[in-house]
């Protein structure tokens, strides 16, 4: 039972307030999806993720296929039961990981031949196999297999890649999918606008349940990322969810929401936390810096998360420097609380008709700092 509805649209931007309905509940959009790559959001429990306000997570099909195996997950009752997560799950196809993690891989017309990064065993990921894996996992939203070329890539290579991605999306659509699950296509084309247009228009003919913009944030400058995303979004159906893959800086999210994007995912809040970098209402904070060693104030006085209400910067720095597991727990909790808070602020601003004011505040604080000449 997949359904998307638009509740309200911004009059000054393309932003929209909406809802996605799946068999595992409702997702208020715009929404950020924490990344649970191997069936777990690092350092967090499922209950904590839900308490922070998240209604959907992203799990990677490649990793679950290699370990513990998609059939094993199916035997154990599916991802939802295995993870003890009763809300929605989106699974990435695994195509990017098959290309990026394997030292030995080859792209063929009918799939990706690769060697496991775990034990070197050989595997062949086809569109049909991709659907079989995701279907066995019991996901709510499945992604079509696509090729994500490296940056930079020539126009000729990128054009062939777009054609391959379209053919694979057709095969994914034709593969048997359990009723009620959604299938999203991925628009590719690199930084070439005519190829982005071609990719989007060809995918529209397949009539998928939602559309993602892939292949950005992998080397091009931020200004170009924004330009390509803004160019691509209008080609995607108004009545279906739009998903910008892999971009997750707070300013990126606000900017993309203004373009009409509904879904986001990124490892930034969790990875940065494990590396000692925190997102706050006054910008980024690197807690491992020495000058926080005697700082008794919280990370962010405006934040109401458990970490900020309970511990000082000095203690958090001590935990990080000592390599304590608790550091990852507390810092990740804060960052995800910030992202949950940010998405709630965006949705509430849209509901009040004040999103353009919220966007202006972000532009004043930082906004687009990077240019293609940097």
Closest by CA position to 95, among listed 57, 134, 56: 134
Spell 216-225 as b/e; 16+ CB within 10 A means b: bbbebebeeb
Catalytic residue among 92, 140, 146, 300: 92
Query: Does the annotation count 146 as an active-site position?
Result: no
CA atoms within 13 A on the CB side of 173: 17
Q: Where are the beta strands (DSSP E) in the chain?
A: 3-9, 16-22, 25-29, 31-33, 56-60, 88-92, 105-108, 111-115, 122-125, 141-143, 182-187, 210-213, 242-244, 263-265, 277-280, 283-286
Catalytic residue among 209, 262, 265, 300: 265
Tokens, residue 324: 């304590």
Contact call for residues 93 and 157 (beta carbons, < 8 A): no
What is the C-alpha to C-alpha distance for residues 325 and 114, in angstroms, rounded to an integer? 34
Closest by CA position to 218, among listed 198, 195, 196, 189: 189
**Would you call 305 helix, strand, or coil by DSSP?**
coil
In angstroms, the first-to-last Cα distance of the chain is: 47
Spell 348-370 as b/e; 16+ CB within 10 A means b: ebbeeeebeebbeebeeeeeeee
CA atoms within 13 A on the CB side of 31: 24
Closest by CA position to 21, among listed 137, 143, 141, 131: 141
Query: Does the annotation count 207 as an active-site position?
Result: no
Contacts by residues 129-133 (CB-CB < 8 Å, ≥ 24 positions apart): 130/61, 130/93, 130/94, 130/95, 130/172, 131/172, 131/175, 131/176, 131/177, 132/70, 132/175, 133/61, 133/64, 133/65, 133/70, 133/94
Cite the active site residues. Answer: 92, 265
């Amino acid at each position: 039972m997949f359904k998307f509805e638009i509740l309200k649209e911004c009059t000054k931007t393309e932003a929209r307030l909406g809802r996605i309905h799946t068999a595992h509940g409702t997702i208020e959009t715009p929404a950020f999806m924490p990344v649970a790559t191997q069936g777990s959001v690092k350092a967090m429990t499922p209950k904590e993720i839900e308490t922070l306000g998240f209604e959907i997570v992203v799990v990677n099909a490649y990793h679950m296929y290699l370990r513990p195996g998609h059939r094993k997950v199916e035997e154990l009752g599916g991802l939802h039961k295995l993870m003890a997560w009763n809300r929605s799950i989106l699974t990435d196809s695994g195509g990017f990981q098959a290309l990026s993690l394997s030292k030995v891989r080859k792209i063929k017309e009918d799939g990706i031949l690769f060697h496991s990064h775990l034990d070197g065993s050989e595997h062949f990921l086809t569109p049909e196999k991709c659907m079989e894996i995701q279907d066995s996992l019991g996901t709510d939203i499945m992604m079509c297999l696509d090729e994500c070329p490296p940056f930079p890539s020539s126009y000729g290579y990128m054009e062939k890649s777009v054609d391959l991605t379209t053919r694979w999306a057709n095969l994914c659509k034709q593969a048997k999918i359990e009723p009620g699950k959604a299938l999203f296509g991925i628009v590719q084309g690199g930084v070439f606008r005519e190829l982005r247009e071609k990719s989007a228009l060809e995918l529209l003919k397949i009539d998928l349940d939602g559309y993602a913009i892939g292949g950005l944030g992998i080397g091009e400058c931020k200004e170009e990322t924004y330009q390509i995303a803004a160019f691509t979004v209008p080609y995607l159906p108004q009545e279906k969810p739009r998903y910008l893959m892999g971009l997750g800086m707070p300013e990126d999210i606000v900017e993309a929401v203004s373009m009409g994007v509904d879904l986001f995912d990124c490892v930034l809040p969790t990875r940065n936390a494990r590396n000692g970098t925190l997102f706050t209402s006054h910008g980024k904070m690197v807690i491992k810096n020495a000058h926080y060693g005697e700082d008794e104030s919280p990370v962010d006085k405006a934040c109401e998360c458990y970490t900020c209400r309970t511990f000082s910067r000095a203690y958090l720095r001590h935990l990080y420097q000592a390599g304590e597991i608790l550091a990852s727990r507390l810092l990740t909790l804060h960052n995800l609380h910030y992202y949950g808070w940010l998405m709630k602020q965006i949705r509430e601003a849209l509901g009040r008709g004040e999103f353009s004011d919220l966007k202006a505040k972000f532009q004043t604080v930082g906004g687009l700092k990077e240019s293609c000449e940097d």
